[in-house]
Amino acid sequence: MNIPITIPFVDLNLQHQPIKNQLQQAIQAVLEQGDFVLGKTLSDFEAAFAVASGTKYGIGVASGTDAIALGLQACNIGAGDEVILPANTFVATLIGVLRTGAKPILVDCDRHTALIDLEAAAKAITSKTKAIIPVHLYGQMVSPKQLLDLADTYKILIFEDAAQAHLAEREGYRAGSVGIAAAFSFYPSKNLGAFGDGGILLTRDQEVAEKMVRLRNYGASRKYFHTEIGTNSRLDTIQAAVLQQKLPYLQNWNRDRLNVAKNYDAELAPFATKGIIPIQNHSDEGHVYHLYVIKVCESCAVERCVIQEQLTAMGIQTGIHYPIPCHLQPGFSNLGYQKGDFPQAEMLANKILSLPMYPGLSNSKTQKITDALAQILKVNSPDESLLFA
Ligand SMILES: *Cc1c(COP(=O)(O)O)cnc(C)c1O
């Protein structure tokens, strides 16, 4: 039986419909100009996004994964270097490191925020450590102050994975302005999404920017003159045109996401005693809530998989970001990690559940979702049903 979806996990139509005409006109303009690769609209967008993020240079590439892999290379990170990153991130962070030839060093995360544990990171630093990749997971930045302290103490680089954190803020810093460079993704469902794949590297360092410009374009420093082994990874002009049109709305969309999160926070407060706890926000209004994630704790009478199944049965889509931490993915078994190496990351993978989150998700819909959750908990734990009566 096909259950109709009453509340989708994301709804991109809601953001595209109101600006449909301007999006179509921007795409049409590129068709007429014909500058499909490395066109003017690309450089305009690159500059605009860099400025909006509080930094200097933007270099558009084909994906967030390429922004990480080529960006690390542009920072001269490669074979012989160690790079520290969290075990609970999307695998693209790890893939990016592996593509450079550097050795990834995974570390655990904080159980409350799901962000990289910077104490664990400090302990993992060796004489070979070249950089740390803080992943601004779910839209929340890793503390810039603590990162800068760490980088300063140990003389290592900060390379931000900001794929989920466009325009996020914390302690007066914007995502993308903390480290030597930062990678963003424009995958359609990210806070700023293209009509297909895309990504960008931001940096305030001119040399990194210049090397990145070569790396994305076959390693060419000028036409048909190749100073290094680059690749073909450019953000299409058409995608840049779409992103350029959407950028002015991003701050409002992010604010909308924050309001949705506040609705959830308020509605879910009574669920704490039932073992349903949201991932903590330590960055106040600077969290851009790419995802709204709850933990279904040990004390919850209903298992996560049952909650997810029953929400699905009620037409409410949810997700798990991510169900298997990087170190337990079969494709990376040769890194030598084992079950038990990163207990917090493993605990989160088993307990987290992402609720629907997108700009325009109404209060009545979040209410419907939390009502459904209450009903599931009530039906499945009759002794305590009075709590929700
Ligand atoms: C989406 C994402 C990426 C990869 O970006 P793509 O554009 O899909 O290649 C990397 N890191 C994180 C944390 C992401 O969420």
What DSSP assignment string belongs to 155-183?
Answer: T-EEEEE-TT-TT-EETTEETTSSSSEEE
- pLDDT of 386 over the 70 cut: no
Q: Is residue 64 within 6 Å of ligand 1 at its C-beta?
A: yes
Report the pLDDT value the prediction gives residue 385, as an integer from 0 to 100.
47
| Distance (Å) from CA 193 to ligand 1 centroid | 11
At 315-365, the pLDDT tens digits run 999 999 999 999 999 999 999 999 999 999 999 999 999 999 999 999 999
Half-sphere exposure of 55 (CA within 13 A, CB side): 30
Query: In this structure, are residues 237 and 39 in contact, taking their beta carbons and an 8 Å threshold?
Result: yes
Residue nearest to atom 10 of ligand 1 (CA): 92
Q: Is residue 92 within 6 Å of ligand 1 at its C-beta?
A: yes
| Distance (Å) from CA 110 to ligand 1 centroid | 21
Report the pLDDT value the prediction gives residue 383, as an integer from 0 to 100.
56
Mean of pLDDT values over 92-113 = 98
Report the pLDDT value the prediction gives residue 389, as an integer from 0 to 100.
46
Instruction: Give dist(CA 378, CA 372) in Å, integer.
Output: 10
Give me the chain's average pLDDT, please: 96
| Distance (Å) from CA 91 to ligand 1 centroid | 8
At 39-55, the pLDDT tens digits run 999 999 999 999 999 99
| Distance (Å) from CA 161 to ligand 1 centroid | 8
| Distance (Å) from CA 364 to ligand 1 centroid | 31
Q: Is residue 197 within 6 Å of ligand 1 at its C-beta?
A: yes
Domain ranges of the chain: 13-249, 250-387
CATH number assigned to the domain with residue range 13-249, chosen from the 4 options 3.40.720.10, 3.40.605.10, 3.50.50.60, 3.40.640.10: 3.40.640.10
At 263-292, the pLDDT tens digits run 999 999 999 999 999 999 999 999 999 999
Mutate to test the pocket of ligand 1, among 137, 187, 234, 288 (most ligand atoms within 8 A of CB): 187
CATH of domain 250-387: 3.90.1150.10
Distance of CA 359 to the CA centre of its chain: 16
Query: In this structure, are residues 247 and 45 in contact, taking their beta carbons and an 8 Å threshold?
Result: yes
Report the pLDDT value the prediction gives residue 332, as an integer from 0 to 100.
97
Q: Is residue 129 within 6 Å of ligand 1 at its C-beta?
A: no
| Distance (Å) from CA 185 to ligand 1 centroid | 5
